Amino acid sequence: MTTTTPRRALDGGPRANPARRSTPSTTLAGVALRTPFWVFSGALAVIFLFPLVWTSVASVSPHPGTGQVDGWGFGNYVTLAHYQAGIGQYLTNSGIVSGLTVVLTLLVSTLGGYAFARFRFPGRNLLFMLTLAILMVPYATLLIPLYVLLSKFGLQNSLVGVALVLTMFQLPFSTFMMRISFESVPRELDDAAMVDGCSAFTALWRVLLPAVRPGLITVGLFAFLAAWNDFLAPLILINDTNRMTLPLAVSNLRVQVQGVIDYGATEAGVVVLALPCILLFLVLQRHYVRGFMSGALKG
Amino acid sequence: MTVKTTLRAGAATPAGARRERHRSRSNLRGWVFAWPTALFVIVLFVVPLLLVLRMSASHWPLLSGDQGFNFPSNYRKTVSNRFFVESVTFTLKYTLLATVLLIVLGLGLALLVQESTHWKGLLRTSFLVPSALGLASASLLFYVLYSPLAGPFATMMNRLGWTFLGSPDAALASTLFLIVWRYAGFYMLLMLVGLQAIPTQIYEAARMDGSGRWNTFRRITIPLLRPTLALTIILCVTGSLLAFEQFYILTKGGPDNSTITVVQLIYSMAFQGQNDLGVAGALSVLVLLALVAINAVQLRAFRGSEDK
């Protein structure tokens, strides 16, 4: 721990000193010293990966009392496909909620972040503090009145209503993230655009948006993961089975027929739920990590 | 706003007046971009917050709506609910255990994978992958994993006559394992960010002075990591106090109602059986007050220890 980091700082890069770097791992003593570490850390990695691997394998392997009784195959996925309104419907519902949440979050937080970073207006600090205050209020505390409020707007049982609520819950993080993204872009850039005759809108659209793209990806990724996986908001706000989102549907499917639980279909459901998140996470890992870096700066 | 501008312009020099007018124009422009945020925050956050206060002081059945003011009846009913004390005690116990486990393990994992080698990069990714899953998905996954019928440990469990969710203690421990699996990587990441902020020169100086590994950890890493530790502890306490999915899906509050959290109680007051939004609202308000108070105490404690 204490050796590599200063060396990197002194040499300007790990490649600058290949001889010293390879010495401890290539000598026999070095290997012997490191073996316990490899075994220990490897075992830890296995513990973390095992549940995911096991579920994926179990979802296609035979098991009595499931949709896949003999031989390997996708029987459990077939059960899932025909459950109540069908998995297609639930995937669509989850897609609508997640897509709408991502679009709304990006739109509102980009405009808001731009306003907070570039303009002084009355109520600016109050609005920013109120936005951050959303973090302090328990989810359930807001969902109970939102249940009443949304039905007053005619949005009871509505996927749009769920997306609006989820967008609101995303605003503290995304507004903060977009604000610091815009603040890190030099002001000269929009001044130059304005001199060239751009309005504030065109400057934002043409010049600034490309500059804050990494921030947009982070905000979009977090909004998607939150909306796709959210359980409590649709649980409270949706009671029509045809409008349930995927986590809700898979959770209900478990307690289907008089206490007999279809474990196979549940496994398949978990795989369908987890797959998009894991793929997105692996592709966008860098942006995921950046989200936490900015959060820690604040703390 | 217009009034303010004219007032000030009247008092100031012509140049100051021009500056004021310029500022007032940018005032308006800021709102051109800020109004959607304000709309969301007011309609979906401030209004519901005021509404829940009113609901908590009104007789408000789920189906028939507002039936008029009844303060403090809902609060009395909340506190005398037969699961109130139990759920508060359980939530606090769970919060304490989850926070200690996640902070210690998160820091441990971070120290384990701190250097940037290929192997440690792989380790970091495998610890982080579960964080991409939703808590509900993770709970469903472990529901099957812990099952005495279909899980990978089914044969072993049948031989030992023991189940993961059979007794209150086992259910709590099994849920904690799920939470550690899902969140340890997340806390590792926060710790890594904090560790990176510690200047390498300090470590070097400690090494020159002949400080051992443990000593360096205790005397340098921990004190300099204090802001990160404060942030992660506050995050973890807040998240654990509001625990819901893991218990709703995995243990369903059982066995023998031993794992009911406060948020589960709010949900069941509002939508299961009791169907009373007023009482649920009262408990929601109490939870909000408790959370604000607990976070204020934590912030003060961490700030206090920083001054020393």
Express each pLDDT in A34-81 by its tens digit. 888 889 999 999 999 999 999 999 888 887 777 777 778 788 888 888
pLDDT in tens, B24-79: 455 778 899 999 999 999 999 999 999 999 999 999 998 888 998 998 999 999 99
When computed from its CA atoms, the radius of gyration of chain B, rounded to whole angstroms, is 26
Instruction: Please indicate whether, in this complex, the C-beta atoms of A273 and B111 are within 8 angstroms of each other.
Output: no
CB contact B71 to A (< 8 Å) = no
CB contact B250 to A (< 8 Å) = no
Pair (A143, A209) in one structural domain: yes
Asked if the ipTM is above 0.90, the reply is no
Query: How many whole angstroms separate alpha carbon A76 and alpha carbon A193?
Result: 57
- Among positive and negative, which fits the CA dihedral B63, B68, B69, B71? negative
Measured in whole angstroms, how far is the alpha carbon of residue B170 from the centre of its chain?
Answer: 24
Residue B103 in any domain: the answer is yes
CB contact B260 to A (< 8 Å) = no
Residue B146 in any domain: the answer is yes
Residue A97 in any domain: the answer is yes
Mean of per-residue pLDDT scores for chain B: 87
Pair (B29, B110) in one structural domain: no
Pair (A123, A16) in one structural domain: no
Residue A68 in any domain: the answer is no
Query: How many whole angstroms separate alpha carbon B114 and alpha carbon A298?
Result: 22
CB contact A198 to B (< 8 Å) = no
Quote the Cα angle for B299-B304-B305, to 5°: 105
Q: Could you tell me the CATH number of the domain that includes residue B173? A: 1.10.3720.10
Domain that holds residue A30: 4-60
Pair (B190, B247) in one structural domain: yes
Residue B275 in any domain: the answer is no
Q: pLDDT tier at B305 (50, 70, 90 boundaries)? A: low
- 3-state SS class at A258: coil
Q: What is the pLDDT of residue A257?
A: 55
Average the pLDDT over each of A5-9, B19-23, B291-295 and give the range with the smallest value: A5-9
Burial of B256 (0-12, 13-18, 19+ CB in 10 A): exposed
Q: What is the pLDDT of residue B26?
A: 53
Instruction: Confirm whether pTM is higher than 0.95.
Output: no
Instruction: Please indicate whether, in this complex, the C-beta atoms of B111 and A149 are within 8 angstroms of each other.
Output: no
CB contact A36 to B (< 8 Å) = no
Pair (A113, A250) in one structural domain: yes
Domain that holds residue B233: 84-259
- Among positive and negative, which fits the CA dihedral A236, A240, A241, A245? negative
Instruction: Please indicate whether, in this complex, the C-beta atoms of A134 and B45 are within 8 angstroms of each other.
Output: yes
pLDDT at B19 exceeding the cut of 70? no
Q: What is the pLDDT of residue B85?
A: 96
* Per-residue tokens: A231: 């359980």
Pair (A43, A94) in one structural domain: no
Average the pLDDT over each of A167-171, B18-22, B274-278 and give the range with the smallest value: B18-22
Residue B304 in any domain: the answer is no
Pair (A137, A265) in one structural domain: yes
Residue A200 in any domain: the answer is yes
Q: Residue range B95-122: average pLDDT?
A: 93
**The tokens 């609101």 sit on which residue?**
A168
B210 phi/psi in degrees, rounded to 5: 75, 30
Q: What is the pLDDT of residue A168?
A: 97
Q: Which ranges in A120-245 belong to alpha helices (H)?
A: 124-133, 139-152, 159-183, 187-195, 200-202, 209-211, 213-229, 232-237
B contact residues 210-229, partner A, Cβ 8 Å cutoff: 213, 216, 227-228
